[in-house]
Amino acid sequence: MAVSHLECKECGAEYAPEARYVCERCFGPLEVAYGERRGSAGDVGELRRRIQGGPQNIWRYADFLPLAGGPPGPSGRLASRVGLPAGCTPLIRADRLAERLGLGEVWVKNDAANPTHSFKDRVVSVAVARARELGYGVIACASTGNLANSVAAHGAALGLESYVFIPADLEEQKVLATGIYGTNVVAVRGSYDDVNRLCAELSAEREWAFVNINLRPYYAEGSKTLAFEIAEQLGWELPDRCVVPVGSGSLYTKIAAGFEDWRSSGLLEGELPKMNGAQAQGCAPVAEAFAAGHDVCRPVKPDTIAKSLAIGNPADGPYALDLARRTGGSVDAVSDEEIRAGIRLLAETTGIFTETAGGVTTAVLRRLAERGEIDPGERVVLLVTGDGLKTLDAVRDSFVVHGIEASVEAFESALPAAVTV
């Protein structure tokens, strides 16, 4: 759908829909505002049919995404949308996980099934499509790891030069899975917050599209596609609760905004789900503010195995706090040990191997279940946003490998229980 303008979330000031992200009047963040909404009450059926007939990727939701080009043609291959299609990832009913936790209905949204194995492909696809509409030839980002993977791959797919900035202490798997695309990898000695500050300075001086800085308003809209998909996969219904990882808070708040968009278009009915945010204790500025009853977050210095969520000064912190309270949700934090146990619990009960961020959400789901906060009748969606193969260190030494000689006797003496199976 056509973008109308950018609007300050704090003071409502309006700006042209260019590559800008901060209000000149009050320094508040800018957000995309759309023109006339399509699909107002009368033609919900038609809107649903158009979505269902669209491509098997996020561009089926083009009516709700911030591009000038209008919805894609019959083939779904508008010039700005070729490249590395993201989305349409599985939503899986996880009965064995539900049973372990004493819950009724649990679904896992497995966004590790994206082209570069994390939900970041959604936000990058949208930001890069918009960057191309605005005429940018170089894409860049400040990343906690997965964003660098995705920007580098989109650059390769579209033939755009790319620069990705990461904290120097990132997981080796994420660095390797990024450099291979022929990008420029810049490892900054410092935290993500230092990387972000550096990139904000660079973006003021260069005509580059930093997907999560000057293109941030468009980037953030991409997360809404997770909400659209979940609702479509549930048969055009809302879940009762979502458990979502919180780094900057963009994904968490935009999933709710996606549900809201579809409610106001008449595609969905009912209340917004309870939104449970999930952080690691080693970097929990939002969970700490939630527990203390504050409206804003106090920045922290991250120290956790959940590096993809290690943002000490979350841009959307206040909006995340407001969302948790408004929906009857919460923002909880779990320890590195609980995260490892969460990765294992999910793997053992669903066959899905998640990175640490999914360990965080699974551990928070377990916490909520143990606190008795979830009704047995609730339909819960657990978000898994990235792949375990990128954070292998987190599970090293967490299970036994039976090393044996190549003989039946050696096997049976190493695993005596197997003799009777």
Contact residues for Zn ion (CB under 5 A)? Answer: 8, 10-11, 13, 23, 25-26, 28
Does 118 participate in binding ligand PLP (rule CB under 6 A)? yes
What residue has token string 């083009």?
62
Residue range at the interface with ligand PLP (CB under 6 A); choices 77-85, 164-172, 198-206, 241-249: 241-249
Tokens representing residue 389 in the block: 């193969």
Does 279 participate in binding ligand PLP (rule CB under 6 A)? no
Residue range at the interface with ligand PLP (CB under 6 A); choices 70-78, 244-252, 335-343, 393-401: 244-252
Selected from 308, 313, 330, 349, the binder of ligand PLP by CB under 6 A is: 308
* Least CB distance to Zn ion at residue 25 (A): 5
Contacts of 386 (CB under 8 A, 6+ apart): 111, 112, 117, 118, 119, 146, 308, 354, 355, 356, 357, 358
H or E element, residue 198: helix 192-205
d(CA 189, CA 192): 9
Q: Which does 10 bind (CB under 5 to 8 A by kind): Zn ion, ligand PLP, none?
A: Zn ion
Does 363 participate in binding ligand PLP (rule CB under 6 A)? no
Distances (CA, A) of 208 to 219, 277, 330: 15, 32, 37
Contact in structure between 348 and 362 (CB atoms under 8 Å): no
Residue range at the interface with ligand PLP (CB under 6 A); choices 51-59, 245-253, 263-271, 401-409: 245-253
Helix and strand element counts for the chain (H, E)? 14, 13
From 193, 197, 249, 192, select the one nearest 223 (Cα to Cα).
249
User: Which residue number, 87 or 247, has a Cβ lying nearer to ligand PLP?
Assistant: 247
Does 245 participate in binding ligand PLP (rule CB under 6 A)? yes
Does 313 participate in binding ligand PLP (rule CB under 6 A)? no
Q: Which does 8 bind (CB under 5 to 8 A by kind): ligand PLP, Zn ion, none?
A: Zn ion
d(CA 148, CA 178): 6
User: Which residue number, 80 or 313, has a Cβ lying nearer to ligand PLP?
Assistant: 313
Contacts to ligand PLP by CB under 6 A: 118, 120, 144, 146, 245-252, 308-309, 355, 357, 385-386
